[in-house]
Amino acid sequence: MKTPRRLIETAVAAQKMAYCPYSRYPVGAAVLTESGRIFAGCNVENASYGLSMCAERSAIFSAATRGQRGILAIAVVANKSKPCGACRQVMFEFSTKETELYLVDRNPTTGKQHVTKTTVYKQLPGAFDPLEAGLLPANPSNLLRRKR
């Protein structure tokens, strides 16, 4: 992906939809799937904190409900953007070694942003790999490419 502009713009728009009355920490995410489609997600909190959902998983689950399994790139937008461990594991499940991750540190007051480009694979060293554990059926196309 030469420029993640559209992906980041989608994540910024999703951030504006965040429901975060408890933390007041809005997060937006967007995933680009192998089909070229982009899916957005935002964090949605609940008074019973354990029932809250992060933006990254929201976007990935939205893509999955539409039959999308392989992710080419992910953008996460927040003030000091860093995906939690649960989100890193879910991102890993749908990614390859090449899946790009754009961490967008966006100042809520000025709107200025700094983008850090990395990969999902680098963000979770020692990840639980369901392919290596023998838990997946034959030919999970997104994970098999990891072995190249």
pLDDT 10s digits, 3-18: 699 999 999 999 999 9
Which residues are known to be catalytic? 56
pLDDT 10s digits, 63-108: 999 999 899 999 999 999 999 999 999 999 999 889 999 999 999 8
CATH architecture for residues 5-147: 3-Layer(aba) Sandwich (3.40)
Work out the angle at residue 106's Cα, subtended by the Cα atoms of residues 68 and 70, and round it to the nearest 5 degrees.
Answer: 15
How do the domains of the chain map onto residue ranges?
A: 5-147
Residue 11 near residue 42 (C-beta atoms within 8 A): no
Measuring CA to CA, how many Å separate 104 from each of 4, 7, 30, 132, 137? 11, 11, 11, 31, 35
